[in-house]
Amino acid sequence: MAQVSNDAMERKPKIKKDGVKPHIVTFIASIILTIIAFMATAYEVIPAGFTVPFIIILAIVQAAFQLLVWMHMDQKGHEFARVGIVTGSAVVLVTIIAFVTTLW
């Protein structure tokens, strides 16, 4: 079960593009996006009717940030991850449209 492909004994972990920086950037970006969304609804700076699409776009941007950076979906070897999430999201979109327009 636990077969490790270990070659050398003296190995130092080489961490490829996994520095702290992108994660901190994502964190700060998430906070800023949340605050913008909050401001947009609380102070009605955006023409009425556009607020909902606007904050939903902000949420999608934030989700993309977290999926790609925090969950490493931008790195190679995540093809199935993409298939899973994109398929799931597609089903969700269809479900929401169906529920809102036809059911109830």
Contact positions vs other proteins (CB under 8 A)? 1-6, 8-9, 11, 13-15, 18, 20, 23-24, 26-27, 30-31, 34, 37-38, 41-42, 48-49, 51-52, 55-56, 58-59, 62-63, 66-67, 70-71, 77-78, 80-81, 83-85, 87-89, 91-93, 95-96, 98-100, 103-104
Residue listed under structure tokens 């994109």: 86
- Beta carbon nearer to other proteins, 56 or 74: 56
**What one-character DSSP code corresponds to residue 102?**
T
Q: Tell me how far apart the alpha carbons of residues 47 and 85 are, in angstroms, rounded to a whole number.
A: 32
CA distances from 63 to 3, 57, 77, 96 (A): 36, 10, 20, 18
From the list 53, 85, 52, 55, the residue with the least C-alpha distance to 68 is 85
Nearest distance, CB of residue 60 and other proteins, angstroms: 9
From the list 53, 58, 72, 71, the residue with the least C-alpha distance to 29 is 58
Nearest distance, CB of residue 20 and other proteins, angstroms: 7
Nearest distance, CB of residue 24 and other proteins, angstroms: 8
Nearest distance, CB of residue 73 and other proteins, angstroms: 9
